Chains A and B, each alone.
Chain A
Amino acid sequence: MTVRVFLVDDHALFRAGVRAELDSITDEIEVVGEAGSVGEAVAGIARHRPDVVLLDVHMPDGGGAEVLRQVRTALPEVVFLALSVSDAAEDVIAVIRAGARGYVTKTISSQELVRAVVRVAEGDAVFSPRLAGFVLDAFADRPGAAPISDPELDLLTPRERDVLRLLARGYAYKEIASELFISVKTVETHVSSVLRKTQLSNRYELSRWASDRRLV
């Protein structure tokens, strides 16, 4: 089965690079289209119905989050993987909360990108070490954090925390599984659960959180 991928990035050079990389190293992935703006992306995704959209976080007219807002309700089966050079936690968290199932940096190696695409296409979440760090930061208990209204959503379980820590340390799922004596499937379940909480919890007062995140 090939995964049909749609590229969204406002830099044509970057799109060409990713397309060449994906085409050359694997048959698992087929790039079916690309777009350079929010409008083009919305139209192109509706036309091509790709399995996975590789989505740039930073674009004019609202960026990746805007594409997600416009497409997501109409086409819930399309999966989004955010791709960014941004180091700003609020950007990354915002696109995850808008519905992306993962986040990787643009410096990721081609093989890893392929693996990430295949994994989100199969319904898993993809957390780069940096995203794991941001999420840990966001759920950390600290003075001034928003109150917990729904413990189901607003708190990470100790196991989820362990998994995130290992992800942030650069461990692969298989390594996490053997480190914690659980199965890879269980690791995936934990990561998906963390993704869900990140998207649904109201614990984020994002602006406040962004300025507070350096305080423990």
Chain B
Amino acid sequence: METVSDRTVEPVRRRRGGRVVAGVAGGVAEHLGVEVFWVRAVFAALTALNGVGVIAYGLLWLFVPQRPVGSPEPDEQPRERQQALGLVALGIAAAALSGLLTGPLSGWIAGPLAVALVGAAVVWREADEAQRRRWRDGARSGFLGAGRTGLIRVVAGVALVAVGIGVLLINSYGLDQIRFALLAVVATLGGVAVLTVPLWIKLINDLGEERRVRIRTEERAEIAAHLHDSVLQTLALIQKQAEQPREVRRLARGQERQLRDWLYGREVGEAGKPTTLSAAVARAAGEVEDTFALTVSQVVVGDCDLDHNLLAMVQAAREAMVNAAKHAGVAEISVYGEVEPEQVAVFVRDRGKGFDPDLVSADRHGLADSIRGRMDRHGGEVRLRTAPGEGTEVQLRMPRKTEAGT
């Protein structure tokens, strides 16, 4: 965990400063850690290959979000910008040349297509501007943003796309009627689709944002409800009982336990029965804490599902905790459980009075019946370590049922 490097890899974001068209090349360059000139050169070179560069650029423009307002942006450098414009011109020239070379088919398509693409680029760029304005102003202004310049740009872009499509259609006037009609419909639909892309993206983003906000609100409401139901109630109770330290300790400890379960997700539901050993031990320890107003610190290493025998063992352990709470005169009991491949062991220990096992009066059934009897019946064993003044430790061991042995 500590080996995570300092340099966090940021996702690609189109940059807003120092951009020529849409900040795609700059964003990619920053992501890869290379100079922006080379990225632009690659795009320009790819454009010569039947316009692959343009398509790649367009797709990145579509799918890579802008960097939000407020993040640091590189300064615009005049030299870099000049280079970029040169590369754009170079790319266009290369595309035109390759279009001429590859024959008449792409010749009559390339010209109008280029005009339409420029129109689309103008509209998309304007949509980027509008998004930035929304971020900046925090206002829910519409898709077309504010200002006459924005409107003019959008209209100009739409006009360019329309002209491109129109020229394309006029060029192909030689086709027969059905094919011409088909082409016209497809071209128009394509133009509309390209022009409305920013609108769709905004719609999708807004939906996602709304969902996030809703989830956050729900989470907050759940936390508030929980804090109110348990923590505030307990704090009120503690204030009322301030003169009784024992009671205050009991309340505080109980609340701490509940909050921990809730925060760290230990599966000890109030309602449901625990199904694992660690949950069962935690439940038993909690009950003893509540009843006797002391602390039971418990550590369980490993875990397994609770079966008949282990349930009996947990009950025996609980009885041992109760004994310690009643007789040892301590404020804390330690419980340690360990799940091993062949057996499960639980140790209940206190640093209290201790006693001489031979002198236990016959009326104290706890140890004999509730602990020893229970463990014997289920095939486990009990060991006791105690002496007056030395504290007491009850050691419980239960063999595990292996798959083969059942």
Contacts and interface: CB of A to CB of B under 8 A. Distances in A.
A216 B304 contact: yes
Contacts of A215: 303
A195 to B, nearest CB: 15
A169 B1 contact: no
A15 interface: no
Contact of A88 (B264, B341, B349): B264
B276 interface: yes
**Overall SS of chain B's interface:** strand
Contact of B349 (A133, A169, A206): A169
Contacts of B334: 129, 169-170
Nearest to B267: A214
Contacts of A168: 299, 301, 336, 338
Interface string B376-406: 0000000000000000010000000000000
Number of chain A interface residues as a range = 20 to 34
Nearest to A202: B3
Given A169-B334, A169-B349, A137 B301 contact: yes
Interface centre among A165, A204, A214 (most CB of B within 10 A): A214
A98 B299 contact: no
A182 interface: no
B309 to A, nearest CB: 16
Contact of B297 (A65, A90, A170): A170
A216 B2 contact: no
B63 to A, nearest CB: 29
B302 interface: yes
A65 B349 contact: no
A111 B295 CA distance: 17
Contact of A214 (B260, B276, B297): B276
Contact of A140 (B302, B347, B393): B302
Contacts of A169: 334, 336, 347, 349, 393
Interface in B256-302: 260, 263-264, 266, 276, 278, 295, 297, 299-302
Interface centre among B260, B334, B338 (most CB of A within 10 A): B338
A140 B302 CA distance: 8
B281 to A, nearest CB: 12
B339 interface: yes
Nearest to B336: A169
Interface string B316-335: 00000000000000000010
Contacts of A207: 1
A214 B300 CA distance: 10
Given A87-B263, A94-B1, A216-B303, 17 more contacts: A88-B264, A97-B1, A107-B295, A129-B299, A133-B301, A133-B336, A140-B301, A140-B302, A168-B301, A169-B347, A169-B349, A170-B334, A170-B336, A214-B303, A215-B303, A216-B339, A216-B341
11 contacts: A87-B266, A94-B1, A97-B2, A129-B297, A132-B299, A133-B301, A142-B302, A170-B334, A171-B349, A204-B1, A216-B302
Interface of A: 65, 69, 86-88, 90, 94, 97-98, 107, 129-130, 132-133, 136-137, 140, 142, 165, 168-171, 204, 206-207, 214-216
Interface of B: 1-2, 260, 263-264, 266, 276, 278, 295, 297, 299-304, 334, 336, 338-339, 341, 347, 349, 393
- A-B pairs, top 6 by smallest CB distance, nearest first, are A170-B334, A133-B299, A169-B336, A216-B302, A136-B301, A87-B264
